[in-house]
């Protein structure tokens, strides 16, 4: 039973005594962000997964590392999980005084893209290790990762690798709260992390030990040892990547890059239009297509008239579909990779119209299969 599981079930029976103040901090946000909470915990949220996961997490790592360098008070962390009432007694609860604590909230899909190459996976592990090991005090920075149950199931193999860096991985409580803070009558703030540990370390691979050996080799300037350690790790990660369960590509919640390309292409930017064509050729992430009905188990697309042409309408991500076609419901949206949609459009003499929300209403970019074919031929790709 996690700390907040108890609190959320029984909060109607918990009276906050005079002089105490309770605050709860959500972990899941609409965009990447980080902030120092009142009690000193650094809460870092990735925002929803999208098509710029690598760039987003790199920027968040940079921001967190810089923030940890700034002077800050140590965290008075509740040492044991328990009901909220245990933190509201006159006597102070059992505490651990920790110099730095980072609570990461990784939202669904945010690790997609990081496992495409061993170099990227190495970088991801190295960045988490660096946050924990850079010496700002005599002790390591404590890191905790909070994720939804769906993400635990979907990305468990990657989360186990991160767990191997001695980073606690916990399941977010249903309401998404990440941290609870109790300000006591004397002004002291006691922090508690939500959720219960959810994963054991990966068997047969020790990212923490490997990174510590690398740190020692780097400190003594042993380049040969660094190259050997990196190569050994890459071989092991390649084995793990090859053995991972295959999963079907899923729609993105928020496709930052594709949305930007659609808006700029709609505005007439030629360079963005070429990038949009390349994106549709290279990416396998499904587009979302409103459907009229199911026939023989197949979804029938709702065609639109666009400038005298018949078009298949599609959304780049879940948020666009929810905003522009709320009546459809996600169950009425067909999911299909861009290349397959373009193949259907080509065969039926249709165009593809991509729709996203804009400041002044929907924004649409028309994509013609002939343009994609010309771009593919210029790139040396088969049609």
Q: Calculate what percentage of the chain has a pLDDT beyond 90.
A: 55
Mean pLDDT of 242-265: 87
pLDDT tier at 353, thresholds 50, 70, 90:
very high
pLDDT digits (tens, 9 = 90+) for 276-328: 999 999 988 899 998 755 444 444 556 787 878 889 999 999 999 999 987 65
Q: The tokens of 217 are what?
A: 């080799």
pLDDT digits (tens, 9 = 90+) for 181-217: 999 999 999 999 988 777 776 556 788 989 999 999 9
Q: Do 182 and 22 touch, CB atoms closer than 8 A? A: yes
Q: The tokens of 7 are what?
A: 């609190």
* Count of other CB atoms within 10 angstroms of residue 180: 21
Tell me what pLDDT residue 12 has: 43
Q: Calculate what percentage of the chain has a pLDDT beyond 70.
A: 89
pLDDT digits (tens, 9 = 90+) for 3-52: 333 333 344 456 788 888 999 899 999 889 999 999 999 999 999 989 99
Rounded Cα–Cα distance for residues 223 and 230 (Å): 11
> What pTM does this model have?
0.83
Residues near 240 by Cβ (< 8 Å), separated by ≥ 6? 157, 161, 202, 205
pLDDT tier at 230, thresholds 50, 70, 90:
very high
Tell me what pLDDT residue 148 has: 92
């Amino acid at each position: 039973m996690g700390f907040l599981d108890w609190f959320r079930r029984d909060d109607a029976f918990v009276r906050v005594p005079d002089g105490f103040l309770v605050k709860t901090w959500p972990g899941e946000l609409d965009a990447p962000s980080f902030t120092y909470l009142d009690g000193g915990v650094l809460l870092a949220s990735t925002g929803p997964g999208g098509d710029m996961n690598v760039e987003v997490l790199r920027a968040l790592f940079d921001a967190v590392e810089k923030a940890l360098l700034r002077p800050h008070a140590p965290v008075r962390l509740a040492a044991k999980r328990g009901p909220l009432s245990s933190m509201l007694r006159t006597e102070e609860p059992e505490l651990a005084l920790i110099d730095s604590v980072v609570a990461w909230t990784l939202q669904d899909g945010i690790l997609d893209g990081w496992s495409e190459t061993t170099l990227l996976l190495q970088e991801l592990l190295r960045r988490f290790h660096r946050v924990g090991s850079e010496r700002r005090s005599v002790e390591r920075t404590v890191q905790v990762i909070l994720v939804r149950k769906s993400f635990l199931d979907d990305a468990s193999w990657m989360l186990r690798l991160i767990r191997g860096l001695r980073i606690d991985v916990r399941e977010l409580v249903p309401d998404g709260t990440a941290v609870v803070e109790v300000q006591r009558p004397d002004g002291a703030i006691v922090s508690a992390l939500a959720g219960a540990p959810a994963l054991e370390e990966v068997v047969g691979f020790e990212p923490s030990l490997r990174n510590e050996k690398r740190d020692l080799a780097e400190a003594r300037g042993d380049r040969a040892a660094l190259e050997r350690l990196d190569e050994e790790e890459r071989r092991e990660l390649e084995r793990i990547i090859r053995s991972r369960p295959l999963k079907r590509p899923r729609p993105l919640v928020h496709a930052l890059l594709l949305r930007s390309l659609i808006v700029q292409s709609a505005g007439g930017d030629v360079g963005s239009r070429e990038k949009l064509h390349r994106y549709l050729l290279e990416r396998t992430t499904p587009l979302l297509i409103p459907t009229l009905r199911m026939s023989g188990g197949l979804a029938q697309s709702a065609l639109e008239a666009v400038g005298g042409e018949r078009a298949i309408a599609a959304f780049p991500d879940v948020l666009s579909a929810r905003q522009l076609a709320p009546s459809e419901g996600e169950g009425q949206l067909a999911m299909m990779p861009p290349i397959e949609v373009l193949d259907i459009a080509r065969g039926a003499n249709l165009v593809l119209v991509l729709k996203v929300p804009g400041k002044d209403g929907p924004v649409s970019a028309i994509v013609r299969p002939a343009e994609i074919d010309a771009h593919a031929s210029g790139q040396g790709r088969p049609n």
